[in-house]
Structure 1
Amino acid sequence: MSLPAVHRDPSLPDRVTIYEVGARDGLQNESGVIPLETKLELVQRLTAAGLPIVEATSFVHPKWVPQLADAGDLVARLDLHGATPYPVLVPNERGLDRALDAGVTHVAIFGSATETFAQKNLNSTYEAQFAMFEPVVRRALEAGVQVRAYLSMCFGDPWEGEVVIDRVVAAGKRLLDMGAYELSLGDTIGVGTAHHVEALLDAFTAAGVATDRLAMHFHDTYGQALTNTYAALRKGVTTFDASAGGLGGCPYAKSATGNLATEDLVWMLDGLGIAHGVDLPALAQTSAWIAQHLGRPSPSAVVRALTAG
């Protein structure tokens, strides 16, 4: 059986957007350097499989993320004005300068809901990060570049414990108010559970943030990513970050294991009758291919099931 039976729930969205992060978030945590040609082929194969957005890389200093040191070379070989956007992560104005020089049309910034993670991931403080991001967003928008905002540690922090919902909402609103078109709420260490997801989304709604400006970014550390996705679907969220084959994590939070696998997400969406535009068999083959290059099996249950034998 290659596809699940479809049982449509009319209370759920008709369609969702999958924001593919495998080529950036998925590969940034690898211990070895992956050849440029392999990265390029991964991006091209993800695009061919129908992913509507493929985050390509990060313009972060190679000292911090050496796995993405070839960001400029990769972007130079992509069609930045085609149908598929290839966003890049920019940590600061220097990263934005490189992105603008490369001609990108979409960038993302990456903030923190907690003080400790801001220090460890951004070399900043919680408050100072907003001053750092403001000129990045302003200059990007002036250049006609769309800006997405990630907010990490929205459910729990390995150093600070549970993160107060009001703090997450306050931080998220500041990023949106700068001009980000969308806010991706990250369960960076995978400790969120379904009702926590619902409570956080209700709090954003109460604060005047429309659900269509929110995306969810789940990690599967405790096996809750799909359950949390379903909870978010029931609240009307229609954009979900996912990583082909479940690749990735966070190099600055060792308890952050793999992202929600794109194939696992697609399988669930197919069963729910929710449109997404992704060719699941082609995607699974791509994830099996990159897993082979990385020298280990894919952590995605769907990839293993569809490529067995």
Structure 2
Amino acid sequence: MNNLNQVNITEVCPRDGFQSLPETIPTDEKVAYINQMMECGFKQIEVTSFVHPKAVPQLKDASEVLEKINRPSGVKLRALIPNLRGLERAIEAKVDKVKLMLSATDSHSKNNANATTFEAIKGFEPLVQRAETSPIHVGGSISVAFGCPYEGSVPIERHIEIAKRYEQMGITDISLADTTGMANPYKIKRVVEALRKEFPSFHFSLHLHNTRGMAFANAVAGFEVGIVDFDSSAAGLGGCPYAPNASGNIATEDLVHGFEEMGIKTGIDLNRVINIAKLLEQRFPIQSDSFILKAGKCSDLHIAPKEQTKIGN
């Protein structure tokens, strides 16, 4: 069981949430959402992805967004990058951290990056070398870590080999992503425990999708085996464009509310997050998915009903 009584939550709606929407959000509207998120207490926000505009047209304004948003002290800005060109754009935009895109299986990797997993990670080497000459921090990721829609379960040995390749490049900060919501608490614990045992100096985080309603249970399972960093998206927006049936991330308001109800501190202003999530739900009602927006907080008490009138004998 995790001895800490606190978790860190990274808001990823501006990247993972917006990238999967059927329409492109105007830049100034994105900036307004992100600026509001800056005031919620997040220590890190994943602002965008520096991918080719034809691949993810919803994020073609990545550089412009980073020029326009507020940059309060104490909030790190993270972006996803696929290649060296993406890194150069991220450095130019002065983001604090970039996260590499890597799939656990060859099938997903070929669909996502047009290369096998180990071909893709080999291609990261010049990128990592370039990052060493800049102030930017590079983190790794393993998508479909808890189940691939094409290949099914991912062997632990596969994760260990991927982590070894990352370690050879000096990357020890890895996000484990349940890209299509195939995880369960047992699988989360099994994978995380095996990786933490094999790589005790690594920092692992969880990126959970709520495709099958398991995300919060999976977050708790991760916390119980030492994970303290989690990704989430306001209003539950999100989904990988290259994975079938990849619905949204766990809603930030659901994750914050759940942990706080358990006495686990998040440092996030839940009411502010809920207000942003309500705006997103009104704007994108089909894509939003949030229990708190449906039911409210547990602390939202109601006037007790009057005594019922007995009918019949």
TM-score under structure 1 length normalisation: 0.91
The one-letter code matched in structure 2 to 1:241 is D
Give 1:100's aligned residue: 91
Secondary structure of 2:115 counterpart? coil
Deviation, structure 1 residue 11: 5.4
**Corresponding residue for residue 56 of structure 1:** 47
| Aligned equivalent of 2:239, options 245, 249, 257 | 249
CA contact (8 A) 1:12 1:233 kept: no
Cα distance in 2 for partners of 1:188, 1:172 equals 18
Residue 265 of structure 1 pairs with residue 250 of structure 2: no
2:208 is equivalent to residue 227 of structure 1: no
The AA in structure 1 aligned to 2:105 is: T
Distance 1:12 1:225, change over 3 A: farther
Cα deviation 1:254-305 (Å, max 9, x = unaligned): 2211111111111111111111110101101101112222244731111233
Shift of 1:232: 0.8
Local SS of the residue matching 2:177 = strand
Determine if the alignment matches structure 1 residue 77 to structure 2 residue 50: no
Asked if structure 2 preserves the Cα contact closer than 8 Å seen for 1:281 and 1:306, the reply is no
Contact kept? 1:21, 1:55, Cα under 8 Å: yes
**1:92-171 alignment, distance < 5 Å:** 92-171=83-162
Please tell me the residue identity of whatever aligns with 1:267: H
Task: Specify whether residues 145 and 299 from structure 1 end up closer, same or farther in structure 2 by C-alpha distance, changes over 3 A only.
Answer: same
> What amino acid is the match of 1:31?
P
**Which is higher, the Rg of structure 1 or of structure 2?**
2
- Displacement of 1:99 in angstroms is 1.3
- Cα distance in 2 for residues equivalent to 1:189 and 1:69: 24
The equivalent of 2:206 in structure 1 is: 216
Q: Are residue 302 (structure 1) and residue 292 (structure 2) matched? A: yes
| Displacement of 1:111 | 0.6
Contact 2:21 2:287 in 1 (8 A): no
1:152-191 to 2 correspondence within 5 Å? 152-191=143-182
Contact 1:169 1:204 in 2 (8 A): yes
Runs (5+) with no aligned partner, structure 1:
1-9
Distance 1:194 1:93, change over 3 A: same
> Residues of 2 paired with 1:262 and 1:120: CA distance?
28
Shift of 1:179: 2.8
Aligned partners of 1:288 and 1:297 also within 8 Å: no
Give per-residue Cα distances to partners, 1:130-180, cap 9 Å, x unaligned: 121112122112212111212101111111111112102221332244233
Q: Write the letter of the residue equivalent to 2:60.
A: A
Which of 196, 201, 211 is the aligned partner of 2:192?
Answer: 201
Give the alignment's Cα RMSD to 1 decimal: 2.0
Residue in structure 1 matched with residue 306 of structure 2 by the alignment: none
The AA in structure 2 aligned to 1:237 is: I
Listed as ranges, the gaps of 5+ residues in structure 2 are: 301-313
Give 1:239's aligned residue.
229
* Post-superposition CA distance 1:1-25 (Å, at most 9, x none): xxxxxxxxx9552111101111101
Q: Which has the higher contact order (CA 8 A, sep 6+)?
A: 1
Is 1:287 matched up with 2:271? no
Paired amino acid for 1:288: K
Quote the sequence identity (%): 36
Superposition TM-score, scaled by structure 2 size: 0.90
| Conserved 8 A contact 2:235-2:278 | yes
Alpha-carbon shift at residue 61 of structure 1 (Å): 0.3
